[in-house]
Each structure stands twice: as C-alpha cells, then as structure tokens.
Chain A
C-alpha cells in the first residue's frame, strides 16, 4: 500500500502546489474579513477534494487495471483511497487549526474561545469526512467524472440534514442541553462518523470485488 500512496503523492505534486497557492489566497481573504474562521473550513474542503483529483488521475490513466497485474489486490485499491482521505483530512485539520491560531494572533481583537473554534473546525472535518465517505463507493462504482455531479447533491444533502436536524433539535429545546454536553456529543459524532466510514469502506470493497476492467 505504501507504493500506491507514494504514487498518489508523486502524481499530485503539481496539484498540491496549486492548492498551496489557493491557501495563500484564503489567508489574505481572512485578513481582509478580519476573521480566521473561514480559513480552516476552506483548508479542510480543499485538502479533502484532492481525493477525487487523485481518483480522477487514476481513472484517466487506467491505472487500476494495471495495478491489479502488480502484487496489489482489489482490496488494496480501496484501502489506499480511504487511508489517503483520512490523511488529507488530518492535514487539512492540522493546517486549518494552525492557520486559524496564527491568523488570530495577527488579526488580534476579540475572537471566539479556542474550545468553540476547535469544535466548529472538528465539525467541519467530520462533515467533509461524511461527504467523501458517501462519495467514494459511488466513485468506485461509476467513476469520478459521473460521480462529480453527485458531489453537489451530496453536499446539499448533508448540509440539509445538519441544518434541519439542528432546527428540529431547537424546536424540541434540546440545543442547550446538547451545548452543555459538548464532549459526549463530540464523542458520539466521531463514533457515528467512524461507523459511517467503515460502512462506506465495506460497500466500496463489495463494489470493487465485482468490478471488471
């Protein structure tokens, strides 16, 4: 799997450079808005999107067909993409949080408490994890190009679930209680995300085992 990961890293060199330029633009934009909160969200979004770019490159080159003639099995093809998604999200999270802190220091003024900022950033990361965990089985099934159209639907779907979910909780006057139980909630959300990713992984495995090249 290390070889496949290296292949993605080498192949994405140019793209990563482009993303770094985009991040530099986001930094400037945060200074312009005088708030750092925009930066982690954009960072996490940008880094997580790289997974589709990497799968798009593989698809365009027909790499998976060739990879299966090497000492690589179908499960490895799936595993490497999930590992890469997690690595990308982790990088996005680390860069996002670090950038958020650094930009806050430069901007100065009154900012949200760090615990609140951190939980918002974590929530964004979990949301993107859910989006791409939904996308990956679809990409393995129908390919990146066709799946890209579904990405928007996926974004809207998950945003809608969160938005209407929060409204529903507000109607039941549960938001304050949830606010008070922030840590158990965070553990619950992360647990749910882990379960969701595992389910997505097993669906992808099932798809790739039946796929033909």
Chain B
C-alpha cells in the first residue's frame, strides 16, 4: 500500500503540552478524518507534518519523500487550508491568481477563477472585505487550483455554514475520485468526518488513541445500556468508557459483535464517531 503521509514517532515538547510519539500512515487515495478535543494536538501534528515547527523527535514522509515539506517539488503537489485565511488583506482574487501563477509551476488560472465564481468570490475585492467564510473559500479555491495530490485541512470548515460545508465536502469527494488523491481533514465537525472519511485518526492529550477504518469502528464499537449489576459483569477489557445516570449505566464497549453473541440480554446500540470521541475523552478526564 502507498501512503501519502507517514508520520513516525513525532514528538514535540512545550511547557504545558507534549505531542507524544505520534505515528500514523495515511493511505493514498483515502480521506482521513483527524479528530480530538481542543488542545489535543491536531494542529501541532499538522505543523510537524508541514515542518512549521522544529520536531524534538520523529520523521515525516510526504508523498513518499522523507521531509517532503522541505521539498518544493513535493509542495507543488500539496494544498493546505488552515482555519484562517493567510492571504494579506490588500490582495484581491485576481492578484492571488497572478501571484500563484509565479509560485506554482502547475497553477491553473482558469480553474482558480472558476472556483472563485462558483464560491461567489468577487475577483476585484480586497481580502479584508471578505467574510470569514469567504476567506476560507478563497483558501480552498487556491488549494484546488494546482493539481494537488494531497489536501490537508486544519479545522478549515468550522466557519462555513452547513450548505457551503456540504458543497465543499462534495468537492473533496469529487477530488478523491482520482486514485492518487488524498485528503487529510482535521475537524471538530464530526458529522462531516462521518460523512466523507474512510479512516479516522483520534488524538487525545498529544497521543494517538486509534487510527481505524470508519466502517470497522462502527462495527467494533457499541454502547451498552444496562443496570449497574449487568455493567459489573462486563469484561473490563471491553469497556472503553462509561457514563452513569439515575436510571442506567451507559458504557462504550469495544468488540461489540463478540458481546452480542455472548450476552443476549444487553441492549447494544451502534456507536457513532461522536459517541466514541466523547466517551474516550470523558473517560480519560475522569481517570
């Protein structure tokens, strides 16, 4: 299998946070959702992948190249969209088009202007007059206009309304139709992740908790609703997280199918990605 991004042992120490030995491999041709609560280390991981911070340890291969983020040739094939638009305020879309034509060898002016039109971005209006949603759309237009093979989004869709977000997700679905195209999507909007991702990477307190296929996650995890006595009978190895209320115990369990076959008197519902994230994070906070 080929990988668009291979991170091994990424470590970065800050005074109050450590990105701790983060490793993952993003298969080429997939959409990977990168989730975790605020401050979990998503942006730090992306910065480490893009060589925007000095790593204390670890290696990154981008599109098969060691330290790919230092190679102009590799960066020709990458589009990055951050949570903010970093184009200077005085620029207009036409200026960005002319500037990018001299930065990317494979820049397609017509494609960029086409996206601007599609997203309703005026060509001759300064970036400072754009709304935050328009600014993100501008960044997306730029990322999609140079034949990129890998798109990395760092919480970019958060400021978009649901209609535009859905439109953007459709564009990424279209983008991924080429078998060598990959999307690495960090987001808080779990519904988006569930909608389009093939794999999910969960990070918590600077550590990767899992990197799994979305379908096997749905298959593997379940929420058991039971009494306290029934809960105590559960194999602790299976329980990932638990929440109690006045009436019952709700536990997130791994290996749901095995439990269903073994114990027929439990009510086991499929767990959504959001449930998995919430249980894991809450459980870890309680510990």
Which one of A3, A65, A71, A210 lies within 8 Å of B86 (CB-CB)?
Answer: A65
Query: Which residues of B, 27-83, contact A by the 8 Å Cβ criterion?
Result: 47, 50-54, 69-70, 72-73, 75-76, 78, 80, 82
Beta-carbon contact of B53 and A3 below 8 Å:
no
Within the assembled complex, what's the spacing in Å between the Cα atoms of A10 and B92? 8
Contact (Cβ within 8 A) B102 A61: no
Establish whether residues B90 and A212, one from each chain, have CB atoms under 8 Å apart when the complex forms.
no
Smallest CB-CB separation from B152: which chain A residue?
A: A69
Which of chain B's residues has its CB closest to A69's CB? B80
Known pairs A62-B84, A65-B52; A3 contacts B90 (CB<8 A):
no
Q: Which of B51, B82, B92, B103 contacts A4 (CB 8 A)?
A: B103
Contacts of A61 in B (CB 8 A): 86-89
Is B100 located at the chain interface by the 8 A CB criterion?
Answer: yes
Segment 1-55 of A: residues with Cβ below 8 Å from B: 2-4, 6-7, 10-14
Number of A-B contacts (CB under 8 A): 88
Given A7-B95, A69-B75, A73-B70, A213-B53 contact (CB < 8 Å): yes
Q: Does B98 reach chain A (CB closer than 8 Å)?
A: yes
A69 contacts B102, CB within 8 Å?
no
Chain A residues near B101 (CB-CB < 8 A)? 3
Q: Are B104 and A70 in contact (CB under 8 A)?
A: yes
Please, which residues of chain B bring their CB within 8 A of the CB of A70? Answer: 75, 100, 103-104
Q: Is the CB–CB distance between B76 and A71 below 8 Å? A: yes
Cβ contacts under 8 Å, B76 to chain A: 71
A62, B75: Cα distance in complex, Å: 19
Please name all residues of chain A whose beta carbon is closer than 8 Å to the beta carbon of B75 when the two chains form the complex: 69-72
Give the distance in Å from the alpha carbon of A210 to the alpha carbon of B53 in the complex: 8
A interface, over-half SS: helix
Q: How far is the CB of A7 from chain B (nearest CB, A)?
A: 5
Interface check A57, CB cutoff 8 A: yes
Give bound CA distance, A62 to B98, whole Å: 20
Interface code A65-88, partner B: CB below 8 Å = 1, 0 otherwise? 111111111000000000000000
A210 touches B54 (CB 8 A): yes
Distance A4 CA – B99 CA, assembled complex (angstroms): 7
Say yes or no: A68 contacts B89, CB within 8 Å.
no
Q: Is B91 an interface residue (CB 8 A)?
A: yes
Q: What separation, in Å, do the CA atoms of A65 and B51 have in the docked complex?
A: 10
Cα of A210 to Cα of B52 in the assembled complex, Å: 10
Q: Is the CB of A13 within 8 A of B52?
A: no
**Interface bin, chain A:** 20 to 34
Assembly CA distance A183 to B84 (angstroms): 53
Interface residues of B in 84-118 (CB under 8 A from A): 84, 86-92, 95, 98-105
Q: How far apart sit A120 and B195, CA to CA, in the bound complex (Å)?
A: 69
The answer to whether A69 touches B91, judged by C-beta atoms less than 8 angstroms apart, is no
A residues 120-159 touching B (CB-CB < 8 Å): none
Query: In the complex, A210→B51 CA distance in Å?
Result: 11
Within 8 A of A (CB), among B152-191: 152
Contact call B50/A68, Cβ cutoff below 8 A: yes
Contact A212 B54 (CB under 8 A): yes
B95 contacts across to A, CB distance below 8 A: 6-7, 10-11
* Shortest beta-carbon distance from B194 to chain A in Å: 27
Q: Which residues of B contact A10 (CB under 8 A)?
A: 90-92, 95, 98-99
When the two chains form their complex, are residues B89 and A69 in contact, meaning their CB atoms are under 8 A apart? no
In the complex, which of the residues B69, B86, B98, B101 has the most CB atoms of chain A within 10 Å of its own CB atom? B86
- Give CA–CA (A57, B47) in the complex, Å: 22
User: Which residues on B sit within 8 Å (CB–CB) of A67?
Assistant: 86
Shortest CB distance A63–B (Å): 5
Q: How far is the CB of B69 from chain A (nearest CB, A)?
A: 8
Please pick, from B51, B70, B88, the residue contacting A7 in the complex, using a CB distance under 8 A.
B88
Complex Cα gap A73–B103 (Å): 11
**Interface: A60 (CB within 8 A):** yes
Give bound CA distance, A66 to B79, whole Å: 10
Residues B50 and A3 in contact, CB atoms below 8 Å apart = no
Q: Told that A7-B88, A69-B152, A73-B70 touch, could you supply 19 new A-B pairs with CB distance under 8 A?
A: A3-B103, A6-B98, A7-B91, A11-B89, A13-B90, A58-B88, A61-B86, A61-B87, A61-B88, A63-B86, A65-B82, A67-B86, A69-B69, A70-B75, A70-B104, A71-B73, A72-B75, A73-B72, A210-B54
28 contacts between A and B (CB under 8 A): A2-B102, A6-B98, A6-B102, A7-B88, A7-B95, A7-B99, A11-B88, A11-B90, A13-B90, A58-B88, A61-B86, A62-B84, A65-B52, A65-B82, A66-B80, A66-B82, A66-B86, A68-B52, A69-B78, A70-B100, A70-B104, A71-B72, A71-B76, A72-B75, A73-B70, A73-B72, A212-B52, A212-B54
